[in-house]
Structure 1
């Protein structure tokens, strides 16, 4: 089920304008950035990146070189496997460090799929793992960037705070030719010192500007670190897609099993029970045919009514499986038929250039059917609308009503199950239903013609 996309940045969130408890900050973001916990966390990340990067780079290059050199013998293979295993450990450390200091929560990649028992099976699995090689690449690429970001971050941070606090410590500088301050320039004939009140004030103001700019420079540097961690240490897109498809397959199987159980229950409790009663009634009528023809005629007449009821139930059941009007005439006619059975007036607008594939068309039909059933049962609305249109390669459905609102797509509700069905075919369900209404539910499906 999906209603949102994207990767968040964890506890730091968005650098908005609210403080703790949702209260607005008294200081704008530019002024409070140097003293925010986020800024200090990002600075600590840069400071730790260099020593950790040295260790990771040294380990990876040494072990890889040793393993590659020993490939002429059998010893090179286990050495390379050990190198990749160490890189997986470093990757776990880096994900934890990014989570704690940057607020970046990156999921762990898929575990090793070891086929068989013994050390050789494990060595083969880790050598064939693309994730392990990406993590080794991270240990190599991260090091030069760690050197650059460490130098830039430390220089700007120390210069900014040093110049900002210059009025507090300039007097402690040793006298140099009768001057007491920082020497900016000096030769045999000219010297320039920052020692009078005006120069000291200007120095502090320059330090203030650098101090205010430094957190944003550090934030830009750590953005690259975020991209490296997210791109090289998290699960690959292919693995993530495989997990999604496996989950979607499970949803499809569960949905199909539930539909089969529903059909079996409807047949057993409905049409089958009526047909059994019909057979019994016809048997009694047959026995009374010679003794009491009038009673037999009445029983046959009642059986005829039961046949009509059973046929109607079978038609409704067949319509619930796949309506014939959908197959013959498409979504416009099928949704108009569904709307006519709703307890409130429904306006249907279908604007499609062509028909999608039957599978997507069927999902769209049943999605609108279920949403209109919710309108009839729960919305207490006076009218509703159904809009269907295509945008590029997506089919969009929107059902709105002027009811009481409060529709919830959380786990356990009918909307949650509907969202799961849509997600199984790469669809999305978005629910906008404030208390008091109106309710607007939008479904998005892939267009497959």
Structure 2
């Protein structure tokens, strides 16, 4: 590999050396490298960019060496952060009920419930910001407001990435894309924000989170409530609290199954309890699956691919 003579060449060689790695890891590595190189150049203004890079290669490392370091660190970090693996179960029943032992299941469930609040916030922020940006675009403060709004969108995407990585276990960027490019004018930097596809996919994600948040919250809360209510049926029967399943008729609790009245028995409560347990674990599987699906959606919309970033 040829010795890079500019920061852009160094970053391009680093990107090439990291080809095939996680896009989030590539974004973090490029940000760290560019920040280090820019600070070195700013601290030694008497040096040319080529001389500074020759010095940095000996201290910070060549692009391929830095790429190997990041790959090794990523493996160590992921091993440290990965929750203990659930024991493998070969039987169908073991796999079905073993979902409760997977920590990612509960992380996904918490995310499904939280998604309603974050979805409302993201939607309101995006719609309000876009509306005000369009309204103020005819005024002199329009452009600064739009740039500030899009900057907050990028910051929120980084925050959402941390939430997704923590709760859903999907690797997301821990650094933003480097905001300043050497030699760019102010207008070129502003134009880069508008031409960056990630800006608009992030806005789309923020709007999309409202219907997704409503769906996730409704499914999770409704299915959990129904399953827990079914599981509590025998206790409700023994306590004489069967109002949830019928109504009082002639001082007796009856249920109309469509084939005439039926007086609930303890056996009915036990059957509902079994159905509730099955529904509960089926809900856990559904929640875990939705968490994995949403992780892919978030990564596709919030993380630029290597091809787009190049």
The reply to whether TM is greater than 0.5 is yes
Cα separation, 1, equivalents of 2:255 and 2:85 = 38
**Could you list the runs of 5+ residues in structure 2 that have no partner in the other structure?**
1-16, 25-77
Q: For the residues of structure 1 that align with 2:155 and 2:18, how far apart are their CA atoms? A: 32
Q: Which residue of 2 aligns with 1:196?
A: 265
**Corresponding position of 1:437:** none
After superposing the two structures, state which structure 1 stretch, 60-69 or 171-180, moved more. Answer: 171-180
128, 146, 158: which is aligned to 2:213? 146
Tell me the CA shift for residue 162 of structure 1.
Answer: 2.0
Give the CA deviation at 1:4. Answer: 7.6
Deviations 1:166-196 (Å, cap 9, x if unpaired)?
222342527634345xx75489x95445x30
Shift of 1:221: 1.6
Structure scoring higher RCO (CA < 8 A, sep ≥ 6) equals: 2
Q: 1:214 maps to what in 2?
A: 283
What is the match of residue 70 of structure 1?
136
Contact 1:113 1:125 in 2 (8 A): no
Cα 1:54–1:2, aligned 2, differ >3 Å: closer, same or farther?
closer
Q: 1:212 to 1:127 in 2, by over 3 A?
A: same
- The structure having more radius of gyration, on CA atoms, is 1
Q: 1:125 to 1:232 in 2, by over 3 A?
A: same
**Structure 2 residue corresponding to 1:156, chosen from 217, 223, 229:** 223
1:41-80 equivalences under 5 Å are 41-80=107-146
- Alpha-carbon distance between aligned partners in 1 of 2:204 and 2:166, rounded to the nearest angstrom: 23
Q: 1:81 aligns with which of 143, 147, 168?
A: 147
Rounded Cα–Cα distance in structure 1 between residues aligned with 2:255 and 2:155 = 48
Q: How far 1:36 moved relative to its partner?
A: 3.5
> What TM-score, normalized to structure 1?
0.45
Residue 28 of structure 1 aligns to a residue in which SS? Answer: helix
User: When you count helix as a share of all residues, which structure comes out higher?
Assistant: 2
DSSP-derived class of the 1:111 partner? coil
| 1:48 positional shift | 0.6
> Which stretches in structure 1 are left out of the alignment for 5+ residues?
243-449
Relative to structure 1, the CA distance from residue 159 to residue 35 in structure 2 (aligned partners, 3 Å threshold; closer, same or farther) is: farther
Match of 2:241 in 1: 173
One of 164, 186, 200 as aligned partner of 1:98: 164
Answer whether contact 1:60 1:139 (CA < 8 A) is retained.
yes
Relative to structure 1, is the Cα distance of residues 4 and 138 closer, same or farther in structure 2, using a 3 angstrom cutoff?
Answer: closer
CA distance in 1, matches of 2:241, 2:208: 42
Whole-Å separation in 1 of the counterparts to 2:115 and 2:292: 13
Q: For residues 256 and 138 of structure 2, what CA distance do their matches in structure 1 show?
A: 61
Query: Does structure 1 retain, via aligned residues, the 8 Å contact 2:198–2:304?
Result: yes
Shift of 1:144: 1.0
Aligned residues of 1:114 and 1:125 also touching (Cα < 8 A): no
RMSD: 3.7
SS of corresponding position for 2:113: helix
Between the aligned partners of 1:120 and 1:172, the Cα distance in structure 2 is 73
Q: Are 2:168 and 2:292, in contact at CA under 8 Å, matched by a contact in 1?
A: no
8 Å contact from structure 2 (residues 123, 206) kept in 1: yes
Residue 14 and residue 143 in structure 1: after superposition, are their counterparts in 2 closer, same or farther (change >3 A)? farther
Deviation by residue 1:230-261 (Cα, 9 ceiling, x = unmatched): 11111333255x3xxxxxxxxxxxxxxxxxxx
Secondary structure of the corresponding residue to residue 72 of structure 1? coil
1:129 and 2:196 matched:
yes
- Residue 115 of structure 1 deviates from its aligned partner by 5.6
1:31 corresponds to 2:100 = no
> Which residue pairs with 1:426 in the alignment?
none
> CA 1:234 to 1:172, structure 2 compared with 1: closer, same or farther past 3 Å?
farther
TM-score if structure 2 supplies the norm length?
0.63
Displacement of 1:73 in angstroms is 2.6
Match of 1:311 in 2: none
Distance 1:211 1:38 in 2: 16
